[in-house]
Amino acid sequence: MAYLSESKVISDFLSGKLQGKSFTFICRFYAEKKFPRFLVESTIDRLVGNGKLNKRDGLFYLSEAPIKVAKPSTAKKVEGVLRCNERGFGFVAVQGDREYFIPAKNMGQALNGDRVEIVLLGGREGDLAEITKVVERGKTKLVGRLFSEGGLRYVRPDDRAYFSDIFIKDCEIADGVKVLTELIRFPKNRCPEGRILTIIGDGYTLETEEQSLILESGIPTEFSEAVQAELPFIAETIGKSDLRTRADLRDLLIFTIDGDSAKDFDDAVSLTFDGEYYQLGVHIADVSHYIKSGSALDASAYERGTSVYLPDKVVPMLPFVLSDGICSLREGEDRLTVTVWIKFDAFGVPIEKDFTRSVIRSKRRLTYNLVQSMLDGDQKIIDEYADVYPTIKLMDQLRVKITERKRQSGFIDLDVSQSEIDFSDGRLEVRPHKSTPATQIIEQFMISANEAVAEYLFYQDVPCLYRVHEKPSEEKLRALKDFLNLLGVKTGWRRDEVYPKDIQRLLDECKDKRFGAIVNKIVLRSMQKAEYSSKNVGHFGLASKCYCHFTSPIRRYPDLIAHRALCAVLEGDLSFFENGFDQYLLSAGEKTSFAERRAEELERSVDDLYMARFMSEHVGEVYDGVISGVVSGGFFVELENTCEGFVPIELLPAGNYVFDKDSLSLSSKKRRFSFGDKVKICIVSADIASRKVDFCLAESLNGKLKK
C-alpha cells in the first residue's frame, strides 16, 4: 500500500492542484494515484490540526504567512468593524475615515462583524490593510447545517459572510439538521470550534428557515424569569389612586385607528373644530407608569429596543400581558395615557401645544379599511359608525391642510412600493402596500405629536433622545445629480448643498414622467439612514428642525425615554436628568439605533423568505416587471406584486455585456438593459433556503428552458 506523506500533499497544494478544492475533489485526486481514502482523510486531518492547511467554506487552502509590513514600527494601526464577502475577502470600516480592503490571506482569525485592529499597507488605492488583532468578537452565535467531512463534523453557517465552517466535537446529530451554534474557541490557522445550543429542524421548511433567521438575529424571543417575576405585581385594572393627578378624558369621543390585525393599540385620537380652530388630541399609552426605570422589565425592553413584526408573528418588546393588556388602549376600557393637545389654525398651522397625563376610554376600535370606506362614501359603514363619522370627515379635512403645509416646507413624500404579506388561514399572498388617506391621517397626527414633544423638551433645555435624519452626503448628492443629468433632469442645487424643498420639487417635477418611479428609488438610496441621537440636528426627510419618537412606547424604547423625560418636566422632577443622564442618552442613542437596524434586517430577511416561498408556487409563469437594480453579473427585476428576482447575465441574449455604474446599465452591441426599463420575465427558480428568486427574460425561453 502506498504511503501518502504530508510533504507530498503540501507540494500538491503549492503547485495549485489542490488549492481551494473540496475534500471530495482531493480524495478523487489521490484515488487516481492509488491512495486509499482513509489515508487521505488522516493526512488532511493532521495538516489541518497542525495549522498547515486552512479550511474555509468547505474548501481547503494552504496556510500562508501574513504579508510582512515593511516598517512595522511606523505603520499606522486603526480599529474598525470587519464586513466579509462570501468570496473570501473583506472590508474594514473605520469610523470617520474610510473602508480598507482585506485580502483573504490577510484575514487572520477574524470573522464577519468582529471589531479588529488593522495595519495599513498602502496598495494602489491606498486602501490595502491586514488584520493584526481581533479586538472584540462580533457575533458568537450562528445558525447553519451540520455535515460530515473526513470523519469530522462541521456546521456550515447560513450567512455566507461567515465563510469558515465551524468544527463540532462529539456530535451525534444527523447531517443536514439546522442548528444554532455558539463559537467557543478560535484555534490559530484552523476553523473555529463551536458547540450546539439548539436543534432548529431537519427540513427546508418555511417554519425552520424563519426560526433560523430569528435565532441568527440574536433578538431575544423569551422573557427571563426576572421579568416574569415582576409581571404579577403590575395591576390589570386602574385604581382610584392612579387617577388623582390625571385629567379625566373618559367622556370625550376618543378612538383608535389601526391595521386590521393589530392587537397592541398605543395611540388614540380625538378632534374638535369650533369654526376657527381645530383641537387635536393625541392620546398615547402611559407605558412609563408601568415600566419603571431600573426594573428587569425595563432592562429587557432596553435590550430588545423595538418589537419586530413578521408575517405570522410578533417578537414583542414588552410581554403580551402588557402590550396586549393594560397598556393597550382597548375599546370600552379605562386606560392611563399621556395626552398631547395641539391647536391648529384654519391653514393647518399648529399655534398652541399642551401636555398632560390623562385617563381615557376609547369609544371605538377602528381600522384603516373601515375609515377609508367611510371616506369613500360607503353608506352602510357610515350608518354603522354614525357616532364617529363626522369626526372622521373632520380629521381628513385637517390631514389635507397639514399635508399641504408640510409639502410647502419641504416634507419629502417618497412614493416607493412596499410589500404587504398576508399569511392568514394558511394562505400566502404578497401584494403592494398602498398609502391611503386613512393611513395618512394617523401618520400626520403622530408626526405632529412627535414634533410637539421634541420642540417642548428642546426649548425647555432638557435632554432628549431625538430622531435625527441628516441631509445626503456630498458623495451621494454628486452621484444623484450625475444620474439625473443622464435622464435629462436639471437640478438647481449645488453638489455639496441641498434642502428638503429641493428634493420635493424634484419629485414633483418627475412625478408624471416615465422615469418618475426610478427617480423616487434613486432619491431613497441617496438618503442617509435616520437614527436616534442625544444631539438635535433635525430631520431632513420630514423637513423638521426638531423631532423625536413619542407615540409608540409599547413597541419602541426611544418613545419610552421621551415619555419619562416629558413626565419628569410636567411633574417638576428635574432630578430625573441628573446622575449621568446625558451619558445615558448618548449610549441609548447608539443602542436603540442598533436595535432598530437589527429588527429591520430580520423583518427584511423574513419578508424575502416568504416572497421566495410565494414565488416558488409560480415557477414557469411569465410576468411584467421593472428593472430595479443593475450589477455587473445581471440585473434585478421587481414585479407588480413587489416580489423581486435576479436575471443572471448568462441568461441574457448572447452578447459581450459591459456594466456602466454611472448609468446603472448593462449593454452589449445589440442590447441595453437599464434601471427602470420594463421587461417581461419568466420565473426560473425560487429557493427558500437562500431566499433568492431567479428570472430569465421571457424572450429567452426555449425548449430546454421550458422543459
User: pLDDT digits over 518-569, tens only?
Assistant: 888 888 888 999 999 999 999 999 999 999 999 999 999 999 999 999 999 9
Average pLDDT over residues 657-680: 90
CB 178 within 8 A of CB 212: yes
pLDDT at 96: 63
Per-residue confidence band for 468, with pLDDT thresholds at 50, 70 and 90:
very high
143: which strand partners?
A: 180
- Residues 240-249: b if buried by 16+ CB within 10 A, e if exposed: eebbeebeeb
CATH class of 77-136: mainly beta
- CATH code that applies to domain 6-62: 1.10.10
Residue-wise pLDDT tens digits, 129-167: 999 999 999 889 999 999 998 889 999 999 888 888 999
Question: Whose CA is closest to 421, among 597, 601, 258, 603?
Answer: 603
CA distance 146 to 653: 40
Per-residue confidence band for 125, with pLDDT thresholds at 50, 70 and 90:
low
Which segments of the chain belong to CATH 1.10.10? 6-62
Reported as type and span, the H/E element at residue 336 is: strand 334-344
Fold adopted by 141-203: OB fold (Dihydrolipoamide Acetyltransferase, E2P) (2.40.50)
CB atoms closer than 10 angstroms to residue 11: 12
Q: Please give the grid coordinates belonging to residue 146.
A: 451540520
68 has pLDDT over 60: no
Place of cell 367611510: 374
Per-residue confidence band for 337, with pLDDT thresholds at 50, 70 and 90:
very high
Residue-wise pLDDT tens digits, 389-422: 999 999 999 999 999 999 888 898 877 778 899 8
Cα angle: 538, vertex 543, 547; to 5 degrees:
40
What does the mean pLDDT of the chain come to?
89
426 has pLDDT over 80: no
Reported as type and span, the H/E element at residue 226 is: helix 225-230
Residue-wise pLDDT tens digits, 234-293: 988 898 888 988 999 999 999 999 998 888 899 999 999 999 999 999 999 999 999 999
Q: Are strands 314-315 and 531-533 parallel, antiparallel or unpaired?
A: unpaired
pLDDT at 311: 92
pLDDT at 124: 66
Question: Whose CA is closest to 11, among 41, 43, 49?
Answer: 43
Average pLDDT over residues 471-491: 84
Q: pLDDT higher for 607 or 31? A: 607
pLDDT at 376: 97
Strand stretches in 164-320, DSSP E: 166-168, 178-185, 193-201, 247-248, 255-258, 267-273, 278-285, 308-309, 314-315
CA distance 157 to 154: 10
CA 28 to chain centre: 44
pLDDT at 414: 79
Instruction: Report the share of the chain in percent with pLDDT over 90.
Output: 61
Which segments of the chain belong to CATH 2.40.50.140? 77-136, 618-706
pLDDT at 640: 93
Per-residue confidence band for 492, with pLDDT thresholds at 50, 70 and 90:
confident
The domain 618-706 having CATH identifier 2.40.50.140: the answer here is yes
Per-residue confidence band for 357, with pLDDT thresholds at 50, 70 and 90:
very high
pLDDT at 2: 60
CA distance 39 to 605: 43
Question: Whose CA is closest to 588, among 619, 550, 553, 557?
Answer: 557
53: which strand partners?
A: 62
pLDDT at 509: 85
pLDDT at 107: 85
Q: pLDDT higher for 20 or 196? A: 196
12 has pLDDT over 70: yes
Per-residue confidence band for 74, with pLDDT thresholds at 50, 70 and 90:
low
Least confident of 124-128, 391-395, 485-489, 677-681: 124-128
DSSP annotation of 636 reads: E
Which segments of the chain belong to CATH 2.40.50.640? 141-203
CA distance 417 to 428: 19
